[in-house]
């Protein structure tokens, strides 16, 4: 609980035995002097508490995610699992991302119960006014991390008190591995994508050597990714593999960073053995110590409920304001009748693409819940869509059978009994959340690992349909009816079976449950503070 005391015109906040937020410096002129003073008090209080804190056997873990919604979401869940297990955790966020979390979530009060937990922030090199969506954002982000973040991160580790015993770095952040090696700090890399996508990234040099990249025929089978030779087409490769030049900087960086993951003390994956076991078997020939601890959303919920049966489970980690009115709308719909539609936090579509999806949903005559972010359409330039002229047929069709919000509480939506299908961008968190709730999917992949996820959902796991590279109202209408009517029984049966496997793996004795316990014990062995 947050305690509040007044000092003249100043209000001071402190969280006993819980997280201390290091100052977030916003250099805009509108930043109030009161906030600056408050941050200074918090910083001083944090320093005093750290000096007073005796050395204990509790290992100190620093978690550093890539500053993007999907990465931060899953790594916050990991952070809470480790804190729940008794480890001392520091969560390092970019200034921008942390401010978004403070605005839209309860992270301070949520983590207050974990002794020694703290948030720290760091610059990510991307201007605050950048929309942070679309493919161009990735290049700007990696450039900023290398030029701005890397030296700041090293300085932070050198001066950390208490010393960091183990880093869990986002596996695409090569800067974390480089600095950990320089300073002699053990590091475990966490890849927030699927194992199948990671394995494809690992095989990029082999595909180039075999002449399979650059791509010449989108429907040709790829033979250089072990375990996928029978079904992986060129169009199913991660989007960065579509570069016309194999020396493309992002393609090369992802390949190199993935290969470097094998140099870490271990590799963490948000997946489970029953879902990706065959691919994991191939991966273990290159990554000897893999911890599969997913699905993280279900794993965290299970552990929290086990220790406190009054717990309602983990809260939102969304960077955006959630519109919960959609849950009341869902309450009024028949069981399994609604198609939930969301393109994630980064995808940017053209106005034409958005309208094609929307017309397809209306024409399908099925109920739908449509999430359209204010910055979903490229024509808006990252702004809202108030100036967009929406066809009257879509307005009337949505009033009749649909509901539209700018952002939804996705885990709660997918868990709602009215939802019978998910039209998704195939981001890995979204895919796993759908798997956990047994909701069949229509996959329209946008970029990065999503192309490969959609292939596995349809061809390997039989959990839905793959609509990649198509954006036509007739195709949307056809696939919605196929998912919700024609093949519904088949997909529901497959999805229910996989959901049951997911639940089993995070219960006591399950593969992910045991792997998390093993991870915690391995981190404790890295504690360099013992005996000091």
Report the distance separating Cα 196 and Cα 184, nearest Å.
Answer: 31
CB 367 within 8 A of CB 359: no
DSSP string, 43-85: HHHHHHHHHHSPP-S--EEEEE--SSHHHHHHHHHHHHHHHHT
Six-digit token string for 457: 């959902």
CB 432 within 8 A of CB 270: yes
Residues 6+ apart with CB under 8 A from 500: none
Q: Which phi and psi (to 5°) does residue 325 adopt?
A: -65, -25
How buried is 86 (Cβ within 10 angstroms: 0-12 exposed, 13-18 middle, 19+ buried)? Answer: middle
CB 369 within 8 A of CB 329: yes
CB 164 within 8 A of CB 157: yes
Q: Which phi and psi (to 5°) does residue 38 adopt?
A: -60, -45
**Residue 421 host element (H or E):** strand 419-424
Six-digit token string for 283: 């991966």
DSSP string, 410-440: HHHHHHSTTEEEEEE---HHHHHHHHHHT--
Please pick, among 124, 165, 170, 449, the residue that the annotation labels catalytic. 170
Q: Which phi and psi (to 5°) does residue 154 adopt?
A: -65, -45
CA distance to 308, 356, 363, 395, 476, per residue, from 351 (Å): 47, 9, 18, 15, 16
Please pick, among 60, 71, 299, 425, the residue that the annotation labels catalytic. 71
DSSP string, 152-210: HHHHHHHT-SSPPSEEEEETT-HHHHHHHHHHT--EEEEE-S-HHHHHHHHTHHHHHHT
Question: Quick one: which of 344, 311, 306 has its CA closest to 425?
Answer: 344
* Residue 71 is a catalytic residue: yes
Active site residues: 71, 170
């Amino acid at each position: 609980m947050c305690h509040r005391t007044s000092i003249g015109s100043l209000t001071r906040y402190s969280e006993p035995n819980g997280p201390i937020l290091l100052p977030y410096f916003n250099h805009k002129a509108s930043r109030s002097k009161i906030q600056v003073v408050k941050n200074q008090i918090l910083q001083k209080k944090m320093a005093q508490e750290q000096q007073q804190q005796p050395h204990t056997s509790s290992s100190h873990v620093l978690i550093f995610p890539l500053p993007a919604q999907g990465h931060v979401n899953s790594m916050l869940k990991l952070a809470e699992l480790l804190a729940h297990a008794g480890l001392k955790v520091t969560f390092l966020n970019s200034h921008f991302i942390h401010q978004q979390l403070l605005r839209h979530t309860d992270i301070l009060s949520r983590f207050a119960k974990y002794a020694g937990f703290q948030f720290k922030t760091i610059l990510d090199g991307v201007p605050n006014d950048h929309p942070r969506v679309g493919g161009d954002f990735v290049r700007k982000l990696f450039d900023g991390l290398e030029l701005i973040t890397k030296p700041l991160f090293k300085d932070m580790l050198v001066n950390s008190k208490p010393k960091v015993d183990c880093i869990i770095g986002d596996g695409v952040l090569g800067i974390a591995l480089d600095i950990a090696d320089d300073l002699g700090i053990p590091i475990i890399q966490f890849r927030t994508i699927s194992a199948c996508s990671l394995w494809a990234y690992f095989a990029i040099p082999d595909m180039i050597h075999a002449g399979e990249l650059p791509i010449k025929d989108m429907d040709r089978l790829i033979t250089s990714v072990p375990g996928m030779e029978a079904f992986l087409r060129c169009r199913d490769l991660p989007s960065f593999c579509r570069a016309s030049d194999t020396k493309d900087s992002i393609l090369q960086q992802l390949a190199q960073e993935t290969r470097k993951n094998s140099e870490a003390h271990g590799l963490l994956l948000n997946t489970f053995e029953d879902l990706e076991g065959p691919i994991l078997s191939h991966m273990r020939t290159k990554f000897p110590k893999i911890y599969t601890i997913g699905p993280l959303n279900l794993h965290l919920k299970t552990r929290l409920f086990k220790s406190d049966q009054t717990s309602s489970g983990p809260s939102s980690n969304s960077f955006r304001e959630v519109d919960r009115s959609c849950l009341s709308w869902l309450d009024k719909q028949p069981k399994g009748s609604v198609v939930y539609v969301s393109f994630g936090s980064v995808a940017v579509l053209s106005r034409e693409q958005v309208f094609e999806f929307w017309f397809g949903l209306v024409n399908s005559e099925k109920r739908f819940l449509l999430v359209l972010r204010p910055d979903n359409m490229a024509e808006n330039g990252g702004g809202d869509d108030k100036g967009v002229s929406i066809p009257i047929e879509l307005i009337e069709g949505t009033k009749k059978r649909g509901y539209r919000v700018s952002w939804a509480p996705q885990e709660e939506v997918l868990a709602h009994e009215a939802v019978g299908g998910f039209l998704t961008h195939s981001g890995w968190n979204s895919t796993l959340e759908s798997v956990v709730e047994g909701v069949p999917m229509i996959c329209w992949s946008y970029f990065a690992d999503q192309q490969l996820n959609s292939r596995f959902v349809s061809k390997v796991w039989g959990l839905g349909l793959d609509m990649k590279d198509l954006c036509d109202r007739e195709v949307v209408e056809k696939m919605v009816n196929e998912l919700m009517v024609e093949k519904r029984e088949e997909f529901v049966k497959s999805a229910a079976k996989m959901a049951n496997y997911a639940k089993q793996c995070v219960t006591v004795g399950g593969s992910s449950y045991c792997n998390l316990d093993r991870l915690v014990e391995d981190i404790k062995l890295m504690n360099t503070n013992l005996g000091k």
